[in-house]
Amino acid sequence: MKSKVLNLERLRELLGSKREGKKVVFTNGCFDLLHVGHVRYLQKAKNMGDILVVGINSDDSAKRLKGEGRPIMPDSERAELVAALDCVDYVTIFTEDTPSRLIMLLRPEIHVKGGDYTLEDLPELEFVESYGGKVVIVEEEKGYSSSGIVKKIVERFSAEAEASEA
């Protein structure tokens, strides 16, 4: 089976040959500790078009965005997990803090962001609209986040450590 995790050059080449008459949907994120909220979000994104491309923040980018101690998993593993989902067609890792450069190069018909963003928050909005693309904000289900999972693990570990010391 061919990998769905591609470098940007290979991704552009493949999209160029497969794109005709198909709607490309792009989304991005750290996807640190893949959870059901991510899966549902990506399924919604896929339902908006024909080809779903997911940009994964590199380790350095995720650390700058999420802080010290993050990401939990390296970018290659995060990309492999996201690529394993049936709804995802291609995954690429990017080093910048925003997906603007990727969007400029890929020109997706639809750029999807999670509900924790507003259109005003997105520096890429103007560019996407300039070539006729559309930005869609998808409301995410509450209660799912990698940060929340990490916090819960730390709290449980701390409570168990305190209990065993008592």
Digit-coded pLDDT (tens) for 126-158 = 999 999 999 999 987 666 676 676 677 777 777
Asked if the structure places residue 44 within a domain, the reply is: yes
d(CA 65, CA 43): 24
The pLDDT score that the predictor gives to residue 147 is 66
Q: Read off the DSSP letter of residue 109.
A: S
Q: pTM value?
A: 0.87
What is d(CA 71, CA 33) in angstroms, rounded to the nearest whole number?
A: 9
Q: Give the model's confidence band at 161: pLDDT under 50 very low, under 70 low, under 90 confident, else very high.
A: confident
Would residue 161 count as lying in a domain?
Answer: yes
User: Quick check: is 1 in a domain?
Assistant: no
Domain membership of residue 17 (yes or no) is yes
Which residues, including other chains, have CB under 8 Å from residue 135's CB and lie 6 or more apart? 110, 111, 112, 113, 119, 122, 124, 125, 128, 129
In this structure, is residue 89 part of a structural domain? yes
Q: How many domains does the chain have?
A: 1
User: What's the Rg (C-alpha) of the chain?
Assistant: 17
Please state which of the ranges 22-31, 60-69, 112-121, 140-149 shows the lowest mean pLDDT: 140-149
pLDDT the model gives residue 18? 76
User: Considering the domain boundaries, does residue 2 fall inside one?
Assistant: no
pLDDT at 111 over 70: yes
The answer to whether residue 36 is domain-embedded is yes
Specify if 46 maps to a domain. Answer: yes
CATH code of the domain in which 28 resides: 3.40.50.620
pLDDT class for 123, splitting at 50, 70, 90? confident
Which residues form the domain of 55? 8-165
- Find the range with the poorest average confidence among 29-33, 54-58, 87-91, 139-143: 139-143
